[in-house]
């Protein structure tokens, strides 16, 4: 099981999480909003760390983590039949550096391009620890 740390205020980020929830149904991924600082702290992270892009981490081994475009690629690789597409993307000359720059551009302008939510999106598959889920139980 992996944890996707996402911006629950960002329309683009929330749409990605919703798409993953529909596709995965909590089988591989659980979700943690970057605004949940107490839960982030358990993994040695804070909201400022998340400004460099979404994070994918293994909650059992928190040192195993990917951020930004690397996280997007790893999520794609973990999806059914996704590994072949990610490997092809990485193998095309010049495409990965272009993708990395595009990711950074979108990340830095996400609210302007896609809007900011007035209410944070709570995932249907939140990261759960010790039998509890939600902002107060992590």
Sign, CA torsion 111/33/48/82: negative
Domain range annotation of the chain: 2-114
Q: Whole-model pTM?
A: 0.87
**Dihedral pair phi/psi, residue 11, rounded to 5°:** -60, -40
Rounded to the nearest integer, the mean pLDDT of the chain is 90
Please report which confidence band the pLDDT of residue 106 belongs to, taking 50, 70 and 90 as the band edges: very high
Among 65, 43, 50, 37, CA closest to 110? 50
Give the pLDDT band of residue 129 (cuts 50, 70, 90). Answer: low
Residue 37's pLDDT is what?
93
Confidence (pLDDT) at 67: 96
| 43-56 pLDDT per residue, tens | 999 888 999 999 99
Query: DSSP alpha helices (H): ranges in 7-108?
Result: 11-24, 37-41, 47-50, 69-78, 82-91, 95-108
Q: Which helix (H) or strand (E) holds 26?
A: none
Residue 1: both structure tokens together? 């099981």
């Amino acid at each position: 099981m992996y944890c996707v740390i996402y911006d629950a205020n960002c329309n683009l980020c929330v749409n990605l999480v919703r798409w993953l929830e529909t596709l995965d149904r909590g089988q591989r991924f659980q979700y943690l909003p970057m605004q949940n600082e107490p839960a982030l702290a358990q993994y040695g992270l804070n909201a400022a760390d998340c400004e460099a892009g979404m994070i994918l981490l293994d909650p059992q081994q928190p040192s195993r983590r990917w951020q930004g475009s690397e996280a997007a690629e790893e999520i794609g690789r973990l999806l059914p039949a996704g590994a072949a597409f990610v490997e092809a993307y990485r193998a095309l000359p010049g495409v990965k550096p272009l993708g990395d720059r595009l990711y950074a551009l979108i990340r830095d302008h996400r609210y302007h391009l896609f809007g900011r939510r007035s209410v944070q999106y709570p995932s249907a598959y939140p990261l759960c620890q010790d039998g509890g889920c939600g902002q107060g139980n992590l």
